[in-house]
Amino acid sequence: MLNLAQNLNQVNTSINKIKHNAIVEVVAVSKTFSEQLIQNAYDCGQRKFGENYPQELSRKALQLSDLNIEWHFIGNIQSNKTQLIAKYASWVHTITQFHHAKRLNDQRPTDLPPLQVLIEVNISHEQNKLGIDNLHELIQLAQEISTLPRLKLRGLMGIASNSHDPQQIKAQFQQLNTYLTQLNTYNSSQLDQLSMGMSQDYPLAIEAGATLLRIGSHIFGARTYEN
């Protein structure tokens, strides 16, 4: 049986062992899991939740609107769904095109604070993965986003290869960290957020400087369609 409190405890204990004095926060990835399970995790103290699908995000955000949840959108962005994301998310981790950023900016309700955003970088260099894959384009996209008043660029997001080689995974996380430093140097910015690390690889991500971990199955259990 699922023991959410125990899972959250284990995740937080293992993070605390590795992170030293760094600030590292968990986004509990709740896609496919019920509102009830999110409520249970909330009752254990979890406040940041991650969703991949705009419709599912809006349904859950409406149903749980009494709770003080910070919703993170971590799925691929489709132009025709940006309105729901702009309305219900506090953070978006997956900006890869200016066109999407512009729509989110224009659709962000004026009674809400600016949407906090991250640029997704393709650190695995896999063809089927989304994300910026060179520094030049990254600098350009960051500069373009900085002209949008309803968005606040905070840093970068990456997904490592689904590999069994910890050296390879760690090198990819370190590359994301290096990109952030280079971007800050070039643009004279002070972006400080690195969203990297999932259930299988988050200890490596912490070692490479992650500030936001996106953890699903280690908290909620394996995802199945029945969820």
Ligand X SMILES: *Cc1c(COP(=O)(O)O)cnc(C)c1O
> CA distances (Å), 69 to each of 45, 48, 65, 171, in order?
10, 6, 8, 33
String of DSSP letters for 196-218 = ---TTTHHHHHHTT-SEEEE-HH
Q: Give, as ranges, the residues between 97 and 156 that touch ligand X (CB under 6 A).
A: none
Q: Does 199 bind ligand X (CB under 6 A)?
A: yes
Of residues 74, 84, 115, 191, which one binds ligand X by CB under 6 A?
74
The reply to whether 29 sits near ligand X by the rule CB under 6 A is yes
Instruction: Kindly determine how many residues on this chain lie close enough to bind ligand X according to the rule CB under 6 A.
Output: 13
Q: Are 85 and 57 in contact (CB under 8 A)?
A: yes
Closer CB to ligand X, 191 or 205, in the complex: 205
Closest residue by beta carbon to ligand X? 216
Q: Is 72 in the site for ligand X (CB under 6 A)?
A: no
Decide: residue 43, CB within 10 A, 0-12 exposed, 13-18 middle, 19+ buried. Answer: exposed
Q: Which of residues 40-69 bind ligand X (CB under 6 A)?
A: 52
Per-residue DSSP letter, 93: E
**Comparison of 11 and 115: residue with beta carbon closer to ligand X:** 11
- Stretch binding ligand X (CB under 6 A), from 136-144, 162-170, 175-183, 197-205: 197-205
Quote the CA–CA distance of 104 and 109 in Å, as a whole number: 10
What residues make contact with ligand X under the rule CB under 6 A?
29, 31, 52, 74, 159, 198-200, 214-218
